[in-house]
Structure 1
Amino acid sequence: MSLRGAYLLLGAVILLWGSNWPIMKIGLNEGLPPFWFAVSRLFLGMVTLLLLLAALGRLKLPQRRDLPVILTVGLLQVALFLGAINFALQFVEAGRSSVLAYTTPLWVTPAAILLLGERPSRLKVAGLLLGLIGLVALFNPLALNWSDSDVVIGNMILMLAAVGWAIAILHVRGHRWSGSVLEIIPWQMMVALVPLTVLALVFEGDYRPQLSGTAWVVIAYNGPIATGFCYWATITVTRSLPAISTSLGLLGVPMVGVGSSVLLLGERLTPSLLLGLVGIVAGLALVNLADLRAQQNGPRD
């Protein structure tokens, strides 16, 4: 793919994933049960990627060596993350949710220090501090409705989703892959479908949809487009662009998430949300820069 084409694809991913936060909120408001919503999105995305791999002649079973990380990513990065954000979006504004869900690298840093013995650079420490300042701004006692237990629990669940993704990233860091990422993603989705379907059956019952046209459009957008296409596009971009372009470019997702939530849902851009967004995105940028610089320079004594 040409450089221009890769940047256009990156821009498409940022717009499609960022705008999906208010779109998911709309779907939930239209009566989509959160867990069945996640199941339908994953199933359609999985089918889309399986058909793509079949068309490319790359559809194959995963190798045994990759099974542990497929389970970790499938359960934590996919099932926990999607289930948690769909549940939390019932109570938390879409813009705020998009920012909190993208705090994952902030949780990877202290975990890597404690569990893997990594020594953070000054740049990474600065990024972590900026991100924490952003989190403090988001959880401003004057801005958060502490009297509403659903809102408080929703915010905590979003943080749990980010932490779960961070744990999956730590496992991925130490794993030596046998298959390609694109070939493995559908199998991770298949793993994620099991617990999500169980949760849907337990908490939402044998759901027989009687949905509005808007809800069906939301499902159609989330399955083939926001899941299938965007996963493929992200991998393609990662292979075609410098790592720094991809890492920093994807930070545009929560920014688009906040902006599109203001435009589509009429959410307020409060000072605490704006300060939290700036702090967290700036912190994530520094953390990503530190990781990329470490990769370029190699390990140091």
Structure 2
Amino acid sequence: MTSSSATTVLGRRPSPASALSTLGLFAFVVVAWSLNWVVIKVAVREITPLWAVAIRTVLATLVLFPALLATGHLVRPPRADLPVVLVIALFHMVAFAALMTVGMTFVPASRAIVLGYTTPLWVAPAAFLFLGERITTRQAIGIAIGLFGLLLLLGPRGLDRGSPAALYGNGLLLLAALSWSVSLVYTRGHRWTATPLQLMPWQCLLASSVLVGLALLVDGAPSPRMSASVLIALAYNGVIGTALGFWAMTVVSRRLPAAKASLGLLATPVLGIGLSAVFLGEGLDPVLVLSAFAILAGVALGIAF
């Protein structure tokens, strides 16, 4: 990535220092979000998935409100933006996060990463149906390649169909990806008044309320005793992986073209699979690697235009 590829909000060529800071923030996002999958897997070894998601979202909320207040970016959500706050909170922060975390208790983190990143494959068809966006030839080829990778992952060699737990877990992960695609499609069609960063603490607040209520209803009160590793995992997930990660990605998104930012984020699942193998002892299944390559290649082909 060169300084010529990064553009500021004002459209001026950035200084070398600005380009370097953009690269640094982007690297931070990729590493932070890659590690998220590992620390979530660590957290759900001791606490329920719903409480893991609820606690991390509450922590993100507690960080974002004072941070935006201190920087002068905290505003009340405009009435026109209330629908997008509701959709992102419920479909991304609640449905996607909860379904993905529950699914990870049944399958390895590396498989969850691959299935989670099938989300872009569903966005183009949904945008065609609901927003009237045309599907280009390149996008159609990308979707076909990505679906081929998904079929590999869910085929006889990639999935133990005799295991109800494996089927259940994979089903939850696919449902999570579809939930995220609902949020992305609605976001694409929304006319923003406030910035995404200004709305994020309110989305986290709403999602926290729903998740805590849901966790109490389903699992009861959380255990007051948690190991140091789980506390560190939750703190990382809430503060670094969620609050700081989304803030950094917002800055990067404002400095880089959308296609470049999206392509750069494809390094996240690749690094996540590697980190899962190193820290969680998950083997690199050849079928999983081939499937991941096909899915990510399809996504890259679909957004590189």
Quick check: 2:74–2:198 contact (8 Å CA) kept in 1?
A: yes
Q: Is it true that 1:43 corresponds to 2:55 in the alignment?
A: no
Q: How far is the alpha carbon of 1:284 from its aligned partner?
A: 0.8
Quick check: 1:88–1:154 contact (8 Å CA) kept in 2?
A: yes
Alignment match, 1:279:
294
Q: Is it true that 1:265 corresponds to 2:280 in the alignment?
A: yes
Q: How far is the alpha carbon of 1:67 from its aligned partner?
A: 0.5
Quick check: 1:25–1:94 contact (8 Å CA) kept in 2?
A: yes
The amino acid of 1:262's aligned partner reads: A
Q: 1:146-157 alignment to 2 at 5 Å?
A: 146-157=161-172
Deviations along 1:114-152, one digit per CA (max 9) or x if unpaired, are 333332111100110111011011112123122221221
Deviates more, 1:238-247 or 1:132-141: 238-247
Q: Is it true that 1:65 corresponds to 2:87 in the alignment?
A: no
> Runs ≥4 in structure 1, deviation > 3 angstroms?
none
1:173 corresponds to which of 183, 188, 196: 188
Q: 1:1-301 alignment to 2 at 5 Å?
A: 2-29=18-45, 31-289=46-304, 293=305
Deviations along 1:244-272, one digit per CA (max 9) or x if unpaired, are 32111111111111111111111111121
Deviations along 1:83-133, one digit per CA (max 9) or x if unpaired, are 111111111100110111111110111212233333211110011011101
State the SS of the aligned residue for 1:6: helix
Quick check: 2:40–2:52 contact (8 Å CA) kept in 1?
A: no
How large is the RMSD of aligned CA atoms in angstroms?
1.2
Whole-angstrom CA distance in 2 between matches of 1:190 and 1:77: 13
Quick check: 1:140–1:272 contact (8 Å CA) kept in 2?
A: no
TM-score (norm 1): 0.93
Quick check: 2:39–2:234 contact (8 Å CA) kept in 1?
A: no
Provide the identity percentage. 39
State the SS of the aligned residue for 2:261: helix
**What are the ranges of 5 or more consecutive residues in structure 1 without an aligned counterpart?**
294-301
Deviates more, 1:190-199 or 1:68-77: 190-199
Aligned length: 289
The amino acid of 1:254's aligned partner reads: P
Q: How far is the alpha carbon of 1:27 from its aligned partner?
A: 1.4
**What are the ranges of 5 or more consecutive residues in structure 2 without an aligned counterpart?**
1-16
State the SS of the aligned residue for 1:208: coil
Whole-angstrom CA distance in 2 between matches of 1:170 and 1:191: 20
